[in-house]
Amino acid sequence: MLLWADPTPEDLPEIAGLLETFSAESAVLVLSGQQKKIFSRLRTFRNVFRNVRGTSPRLSCAAPAAFLKETLEWLAAQGFRERVWYGIGGPEYRFWSRLAYLAERLGREDRADQFRARARTVLLVQGEAASSAILVLILGIRRNR
């Protein structure tokens, strides 16, 4: 299994080389961040991981998740099919969280608690709707190449 965090076009040759060493039945987890803060943390994680492996870090100039669709198309060409999409913090979660923040600022702790509870109920997004979430995790599986 390969965890590919913060996919960028510059990664393709390295990832292609790694995938050639995988068995016919293998999986790739793609982790992508939509917002700059999360994206920055993913990039830092990726660079720390690369330093541990002994390769030099590369910083990406790509916008968060801008390369996600192309990444999935490229993986499909390699024989990987999307099986599961998960997102954390979709648009509905951000809406309820923002309402909770505003209610708290207005001194309405009771309403803020209700809005936070509602936000927690919609924290997880599944399916392709997850592409609009703050953090996206997609599992691709290749069988019998």
Average pLDDT of the chain is: 79
pLDDT for the residue numbered 83: 82
Strand partners, 30: 4, 138
What would the mean pLDDT of 71-90 be, rounded to a whole number?
87
Query: Could you give the number of structural domains in the chain?
Result: 1
CA 99 to chain centre: 25
The proportion of the chain whose per-residue pLDDT surpasses 70, expressed as a percent, equals 76
- Residue 27 forms part of a structural domain: yes
Question: Which residue, among 113, 120, 74, 73, has the nearest Cα to 93 in the 3D structure?
Answer: 120
Give the sign of the dihedral formed by CA 52, CA 86, CA 122, CA 101. positive
Phi, psi of 41 (to 5 degrees): -70, -40
Are 64 and 38 a contacting pair, CB within 8 Å? yes
Q: How far apart are CA 1 and CA 55, in angstroms?
A: 20
pLDDT for the residue numbered 74: 87
Q: How far, in Å, are 3, 62, 89, 120 from residue 114 at the CA level?
A: 36, 37, 17, 10
Are 66 and 125 a contacting pair, CB within 8 Å? no
pLDDT at 48 over 60: no
Q: Is 0.95 topped by the overall pTM?
A: no
What would the mean pLDDT of 89-96 be, rounded to a whole number?
92
- What is the token pair recorded at 20? 């050639």
CA 51 to chain centre: 21
- Residue 118 forms part of a structural domain: no
- Residue 96 forms part of a structural domain: no
pLDDT for the residue numbered 145: 53
- Residue 113 forms part of a structural domain: no
Are 17 and 71 a contacting pair, CB within 8 Å? no
Q: Please, which residues have CB within 8 angstroms of residue 23's CB and are 6 or more apart in sequence?
A: none
Q: Which domain holds residue 77?
A: 2-87+125-142
- Residue 58 forms part of a structural domain: yes
What would the mean pLDDT of 106-129 be, rounded to a whole number?
93
